[in-house]
Amino acid sequence: MGGHGYSGWWGNMGGPKHRGIVTYQLSPYEMKTNAHLISKGTHNFFRRTSSQLGYILPGVFLFWAVTHFGKKRHEYINSKAGHAAEHGH
């Protein structure tokens, strides 16, 4: 079971060197993270949201309908008319 001790951090595990693999990296100081955020960001937000409405709205409507029915039923059962109808008085 013997461990060999610390073998290094990710990417530097002490194994054989990889050959033929080229990696590129961009400095975080060179990236423009908020470039075109207002001009293109709002358009993309609405475009992506509108493409998902067919999946979201049925669930939202079902949740609203069940909640609405439950609240109305609760109000009726706890009203004078609801007590009379449920208990047959």
Assigned token pair, 41: 């960001």
Q: For 24-37, what is each residue's pLDDT tens digit?
A: 777 777 777 777 77
The mean-pLDDT minimum among 9-13, 45-49, 63-67 falls in 9-13
pLDDT of the residue at 5? 62
Assigned token pair, 58: 């049925």
pLDDT of the residue at 52? 94
Mean pLDDT across 37-41: 78
* CA dihedral sign of residues 4, 10, 12, 14: positive
pLDDT of the residue at 11? 63
Assigned token pair, 84: 């009379």
Mean pLDDT across 41-65: 93
pLDDT of the residue at 29? 74
